[in-house]
Structure 1
Amino acid sequence: MREGYEGTGPGAITPDGCAVDLYSRLVAGAEPGIVAAAVPAGATMLELGSGVGRLTLPLSERGLTVTAVDESAEMLARVRERVPGIRTVQSPIETLDLEERFDVVLLASFLVHTGDRAVRDGLLAACRRHVADDGCVLVQREGVDWHTRVPREREDPSGCTVRIASAEPVGDGVNSVVAEYVFPDARWTQTFRSRPLTKGDFEACLDAAGLTVETYLTDDGTWVRARPKHR
């Protein structure tokens, strides 16, 4: 496990505390519709941090040609089960270099909020490295009160109670977040490090990576479409 990251529950747990069996049960919700509406029909997409393919499958069904990237072999095996024939790449995102460009690069799952600044900068650099000059990068952000409105919970359409139990400061502007996922027959937890970013902070991080915000796709500002800055 990475320092500050931990997962509990049945099945394989990835180095960042994600449970493979848990994410295989969760459903995508509104995210595929938000993404598909923001990109050209039939676009090529690089999905960074695909997990088990919760978004990969519905995006592929909408006609996008998706390349799924994850550092977990167990996660990518589930992607291939869901989307036979899909191209998958096992790699940490921040060191990925496929030497090709895509119409769309997707960085979902709040990955931009990782507590490690160097990792965050590496994630955004990978986005810039792989997006076509006329392409776009879609980023999912945390809500403005994500770290202060705790504890809170919601019912996932999969039948899971998703609970953010706590978000406690651990220094340098980073919080240790504990999430719980409870099904009638199983329970998982994940502890991870997350750095809150104001809108200004977020836009400055993109700017440093050679990206600029084009538009906020949702009223709550959690989905963003960025474009590469031309050198």
Structure 2
Amino acid sequence: MTDIAPDGSPVAFYRRLPATGEPELIHGAVVAGASVLDLGCGPGRIAGPLAALGHPVTGVDNGAGMIAALPAGVEGIVGDAATVRLGRRFGAALLASHLVNDPANGAAFVATAAAHLEPGGVVIGETYPPGWDPAGAVGRVSHLGDAEIVLRSATLDGDRLEAVVRYGVDGVEWSQAFTARVLDETGLRALLADAGLRFDRWLDRPGWFVATA
């Protein structure tokens, strides 16, 4: 797994991860056939199935290896999701993988999503669910396909989370540290409002929400 994205994510590992209902969730929250901009798309775990559901999908990621791994039918663009401006509008902009929780670029990611919405378009995002207890999740093993994911440590200081996740697949293990900003609903609403967006509703999956312009 030598192809590593700029954020430290190994491309080969992320190609192994299946979607777990997110495409259907998003499909049900947008207009039929709506175009979708997937910011931080990775290798297309969500983008590919969305395209199969009839949505024109454009994925943006700063990892060239991630974009190269996108499935057929998804337009891929190598770029920084915090700053990219494509000069096009979409029916929906997707902020999965807790992009809104990025302490350095969360606001910029939201601004990018807002800048690409067509009239009546929506932003669909993923945040840590309100009331989530990171300390209680330490040591818990989860599986996505044949990959194993374990939260090894988590320290919460105010709204700042510092954590280490261990990944494993095919007998190979490695750890990745990350920092996140944990938002309550008030904080999420404020973040969205700063980009001219309005929190609309929670979706039927913990942490997933819809925002409108």
Q: TM-score range by the shorter chain?
A: over 0.9
RMSD, aligned CA = 1.6
Question: Is residue 109 of structure 1 aligned with residue 97 of structure 2?
Answer: yes
Matching residue of 2:84: 96
Letter in 2 for 1:76: I
CA distance in 2 between counterparts of 1:205 and 1:165 reads 29
CA distance in 1, matches of 2:41, 2:205: 25
Gaps of 5+ in 2: none
- What code does the residue aligned with 1:161 have? E
Cα contact 1:19–1:188 (8 A) shared by 2: no
**Cα deviation digits, residues 68-95 of structure 1 (max 9, x gap):** 100110100001xx22x53211111111
Aligned to 1:196: 182
Are 1:164 and 2:155 an aligned pair? Answer: no
Residue 216 of structure 1: aligned partner = 202
Moved more, 126-135 or 171-180: 171-180
Alignment CA distance shift 1:16-1:224 (3 Å): same
Give yes or no for contact 2:35–2:55 (8 Å, CA) kept in 1. Answer: yes
Shift of 1:172: 7.2
- After TM superposition, give the deviation of residue 216 of structure 1 in Å: 0.6
- Cα distance change, pair 146–15 in 1 and its aligned pair in 2 (3 A): farther
Q: CA deviation at 1:11?
A: 2.1
Which of 19, 23, 37 lines up with 2:14 in the alignment? 23
The size of the alignment, in residue pairs, is: 212
| Percent of matched pairs sharing the same residue | 30
> Partner letter of residue 99 of structure 1?
G
Deviation at 1:132, TM superposition (A): 1.0
Match of 1:121 in 2: 107
| CA-to-aligned-CA distance 1:117-150 (integer Å, 9 cap, x gap) | xx11111110110011211010111123252323
Higher relative contact order (CA 8 A, sep 6+): 1
- Residue type at the aligned position of 1:134: G
The one of 75, 78, 101 equivalent to 2:66 is: 75
Distance 1:14 1:129 in 2: 25
CA contact (8 A) 1:107 1:137 kept: yes
Deviation at 1:199, TM superposition (A): 0.9
Kindly indicate whether residue 3 of structure 2 is the aligned counterpart of residue 12 of structure 1: yes
Instruction: Look up the match of 2:128.
Output: 142
Distance in 2 (alpha carbons) for counterparts of 1:76 and 1:125: 22
SS of the residue corresponding to residue 140 of structure 2 reads strand
Deviation at 1:187, TM superposition (A): 1.6
**Distance apart, 1:114 and its partner CA:** 0.6
3-state DSSP class of the match of 1:124? helix
Quote how far apart the aligned CAs of 1:196 are. 0.7
The whole-number CA distance in structure 2 between the counterparts of 1:225 and 1:123 is 15
SS at the partner of 1:21?
helix
CA positional deviation for 1:57: 0.9
Secondary structure of 1:156's partner?
strand
What stretches of structure 1 of length at least 5 have no aligned partner?
1-9
TM-score by length of 1: 0.86
